[in-house]
Structure 1
Amino acid sequence: MKLHEDNTLGALGSAIGKGLLAGLAATAAMTLSQMVEMKITKRQSSDAPLKVAEDTAGVKPAANEDKQKLTQELHWSYGTVWGVARGIIGLTGLRGILAALVHFGAVWSTALVMLPKHDAAKPINQQEPKDIAIDALHHGVYAINAGLVYDALDAGSKRERKINKIAGQVKALVKRYN
């Protein structure tokens, strides 16, 4: 009985779906992290997502009072879609902290390049160290949570895990007696 067949398109679709769920959960964690940090530092929320969307796609809120709502929608969409990158990383076989570091590097470096390009943030060499650390913290929260959720979703079925565990024990016994 085969538990797992090699199906490249199925694996890609699965990775994308798991990645989207991981991205959504990670965006929730990052949003919570930002809310706590803003309470502590008294920092106002950023309109960077809106600035980038206006510059790249001409997206504008219908009314001035819709700015915050549209900014939040863009933030959640962007974060959720970045989960797909975590899914692609998972297809390479990377897991755990190494996969989270690769994902973090991709997400944060993109922000460091894209936001100044669209006048949504200062270049990193013009930012205060405290602001850089806060930004890195939030992106770290995102990447760690995306990784935890993705790895949990990608752990396989309960049946497959049980059989793999038994197979590992059998291999260890065979190796021991050879």
Structure 2
Amino acid sequence: MSTTTPLRLAVIVASTRDGRFGPTVANWFTARATEHAGFQLDVIDVADHPLPAVLSAHPDPAFHPLRERLGAADAVVVVTPEYNHSYPASLKTLIDWHYEEWRLKPIGFVSYGGMAGGLRAVEHLRQVFAELHAVTVRDTVSFHVAWDRFDNDGNALDPDSAIAAKTMLDQLLWWAYTLRNGRAARPYTH
């Protein structure tokens, strides 16, 4: 595949709580990603795809429709809140129900929450994705006291947020092309 073939970017909305703020953050981010050249978006809202809490030792590959969508992604952005200094159980369940789908793909983060802005959730996720042989990009987008950072129309009040999103998307683009070309050129052994 060439660098002119659009990359598939899966944007995962991680929160499933009633009254969640995740869709506001995700809608803002997907607008930034749409403006960024080179990505075809697939928004995956975990609330629309409940998974069983108990993971089978040998899950049926056809069990869940997200398997194909995650597998087709060249890059992933996780939009996550911080719950109790970490990420939501719904996201952990999604991650654990899939394995190969994360491998050798770049992962970016848009986090939100209280004073920490979801950054503790991001740091925990970096460890999980490293175990799955995924590559997390350095820069993130973070909204501290998130409900005060958006207007009534869902626009981020701080223009630096769009700059942070562009920086992360640029990193994702580089890693997505590099890893996609690497997967095509040589099998990965672990």
Q: Normalization by structure 2: what TM-score?
A: 0.27
Which structure has more helix as a fraction of its residues? 1
Which one has the largest radius of gyration?
Answer: 1
Higher relative contact order at CA 8 Å, sep ≥6: structure 1 or structure 2? 1
Q: Scaled by the length of structure 1, what TM-score is found?
A: 0.28
